[in-house]
Structure 1
Amino acid sequence: MPDERFFGTYETLSVAEIAALLGAAASPTNSAAYAISRAATVTDEDLSDAVILCSSRDSLEKLSQRDFGLCLTTEKLRAEFDEAKGTVIAVSSPKLAFAMVTEKLHFSLEEKEPETEHAKLNGADIHSTAFVAASAEIGNSAVIGANSYIGRGVVVGDDVQIADNVSVTHAIIGARTSIFAGVRIGQAGFGFVPGPNGLVRVPQLGRVIIGEDVEIGANTTIDRGALSDTTIGNCSKIDNLVQIGHNVQIGANCVIAAQSGVSGSCIIEDGAMLGGQVGLADHLRVGEKAQIAARAGLMRDVPAGERWGGAPARPIKDWLRETAALTKLAKKR
């Protein structure tokens, strides 16, 4: 369920109301009055009153034999819900349907009801021009620089250093983390789905969770998750001008150099290193202690411990061999 510190919930919707909104039929039909109060992922523990998205066989397998409130799926997968322990609605675009339903269920408190009252804090060094929302939690000896903004519900750990002109919303920040000037943390991720009248924004209902002893360079941006969280592990170091998309999971002791871009739902395992201007397509995995050369463009997963380079990226020996061969060919012309 979306974190109540950051997100509000409208009144519940009945299955019948959701079916009418989507112009689709629910099965079984006797579930029309059942109340749906929240959005969830298939991995959440309690799905009894939740609407969930199930648009792949992987998510279908995770949902198998579990009780759930309402599942939005495709016509093709609907046939495999014969023994479902919940209500199912099949539509042509489950992701669009999920976006439409979650918009009716939840909203960002920061965006709809921002706080105007300053926090009254002892033990933290907060610049006179900074704003810290009254509901934020600021740890001992934290420093918040000029013109920075700390939104409602945000948690900042002990000894965190936040420089000038930083904005933080929908986030929990671990102790001793350093955030350089101009960083943006917790804004809505880049999530859209085609609708009949153009693009429809997918509500972003997750958080940003930053571990301890992390460093985030100037003007880096870290989007909050769609439903799951965007996470950065302990002791990872992120350079200036890096973009971290929604739902990205970065492990401990990772290094990401300047001007890199990590697309949504990528996983970067512990100890991995990305050179400058590296780009990752979405839903990729970079294995533990893998190294990616500068300006590489990743289109597929990188196994643990391997070194890759080039665009599209491949094992670095292959890339260097191919580059040398092309150089020789060019000299012969």
Structure 2
Amino acid sequence: MASYTIQDINHVLKGELIGNTTQKIDGPEELQKAKSNHISFIGSTKYVKYWTDSKACAAIVNDNITVEAFDNRAIIKVKNADLAMAKVLELFNQSPPIFETDIHPTAVIHKTAIIGKGCKIGAHCYIGKNVELGDDVILYPNVCVFDETTIGNHTTVWSGTVIRERCIIGSHCIFHVNVSIGADGFGYRPSDDGRGLVKIPQIGNVIIGHSVEIGANSCVDRAKFSSTIIGDGCKIDNLVQIAHNSVMGRYCIMAGHSGLAGSVTLGDGVIIGGSASIKDHTTIHSGATVGAGSGVMNDVKAGETVLGYPAQDARDMLKQWVMMRKLAKQ
């Protein structure tokens, strides 16, 4: 693994270096776990108390937080320690798994498939009829891409992922392990005789924009007709459900265990907290935030933050919680 001086790291961060350390830095670590060869991060005042006793030789600190440098222990002041941390992690990021052959001999590739330049296809992958892979696409072992699907340049698909037929995937996307793209939407209706359920055919597809990242074991279902759409730059956590005919705008975030029911519409820059659930045919307008664990039953205005179950304006919900605590103490 690479190692860097504090000057090397500050050259990347372009922060304010206070103090100095001669210790070579071999990686980042939490303040409480760090050793003398580690750099750490302080993005909140609640972590300042750990700095004095930490063994870390350096820390990256928000410039609005007061932290003292010690002998042979430096600090780098930056505007945003979280964003600076991302740059430091990139410095120490190790190379992904190596392909010994670009296309493994056990991969099954239909004769009509079009494979772009520089693609890497791992063991036991399946690529169906009329599939098109752009340049530099990476499919790790045991990925299935079914008929007439297209995948854009520089997209990476990790093992166990299944992309069903007729889906359209953009460039520079990342799908982590066991992602499901284009499975049937959940559509059933009671039969006329009331003695069973009728499955509603799901004949649409999934369209995913550029630079989308989808976490492990998440599902994006195909539309009943037309398309389920994920806009450019969206980031989706592990174990997220996106149901048929939902439409996400650009640069939305969905945290783990959250879910969209059928035909939900998100504007641009919407944030959905962990374990939040959104009712079908609901619209959450651009810039809105849904708090963790909330249940959205009605449309949410642009820029609004909602909390609770059922979700309400965050300020109103917080007032209710305060009143309930006061009543409980009476």
TM category, shorter: 0.5 to 0.7
Q: Percent identity?
A: 36
SS for the counterpart of 1:222 is strand
Amino acid paired to 2:260: V
Deviations 1:233-275 (A, max 9, x none): 0001111100000000000010111100100000011111011
1:194 aligns with 2:190: yes
What value does the CA root-mean-square deviation take over the aligned residues?
1.4
Q: Which residue of 2 aligns with 1:94?
A: none
Q: 8 Å contact 2:169–2:208 — kept in the other structure?
A: yes
Please list, as runs of the form range in 1=range in 2, the aligned pairs for 1:133-148 lying within 5 A after superposition.
Answer: 133-148=128-143
Task: Tell me the residue number matched to 1:174.
Answer: 170
Give the SS at the match of 2:229: strand
- Find the counterpart in structure 2 of residue 214 from structure 1: 212
Aligned partner of 1:314 in structure 2 is 312
1:181-260 matched pairs, under 5 angstroms: 181-195=177-191, 196=193, 197-260=195-258
Map 1:74-113 to 2 at 5 A: none
Q: Distance in 2 between matches of 1:133 and 1:285?
A: 36
TM-score, normalization: structure 2? 0.64
Q: Specify the alignment match of 1:132 in structure 2.
A: 127
Q: Which runs of 5+ in 1 are unaligned?
A: 1-114
Partner amino acid, structure 2, of 1:185: I
Contact 2:183–2:220, Cα closer than 8 Å, also in 1: yes
Task: Give the CA deviation at 1:122.
Answer: 5.0
Measured after TM superposition, the shift of residue 135 of structure 1 is: 1.5
Higher relative contact order at CA 8 Å, sep ≥6: structure 1 or structure 2?
Answer: 1
Which residue identity is paired with 1:215?
E
Contact 1:120-1:134 within 8 A present in 2 as well: no
Contact 2:115 2:134 in 1 (8 A): no
Structure 2 Cα separation of the partners of residues 134 and 246 of structure 1: 24
1:128 Cα offset (Å) = 2.1
In structure 2, list runs of 5 or more residues that go unmatched: 1-107
- The one-letter code sitting in structure 1 at the alignment partner of 2:115 is L
Report the alpha carbon displacement of residue 134 of structure 1 after superposing the two structures with TM: 3.5
State the one-letter code of the partner of 1:164: S
- The change in CA–CA distance for 1:137 and 1:116 in structure 2 (over 3 A counts) is closer
One-letter amino acid of the counterpart of residue 235, structure 2: K
Q: TM-score, normalised by structure 1?
A: 0.64
Secondary structure in structure 2 of the residue aligned to 1:328: helix
Q: Which structure has the larger Rg?
A: 2
Letter matched to residue 182 of structure 1: N
Instruction: State how far apart, in whole Å, the 1-side matches of 2:303 and 2:133 are.
Output: 38
- 1:84-103 deviations in Å (ceiling 9; x for gaps): xxxxxxxxxxxxxxxxxxxx
Q: SS of the residue aligned with 1:329?
A: helix
Equivalent residue number for residue 150 of structure 1? 145
CA distance, structure 2, for counterparts of residue 143 and residue 134 of structure 1: 18
**Moved beyond 4 Å, runs of 4+:** none
In the TM superposition, residue 207 of structure 1 has moved relative to its aligned partner by: 0.6
| Counterpart residue number, 1:22 | none
Matched residue SS, 2:325: helix
Q: From 106, 115, 121, give the equivalent of 1:121.
A: 115
**Cα pair 2:269 2:286 within 8 Å, conserved:** yes
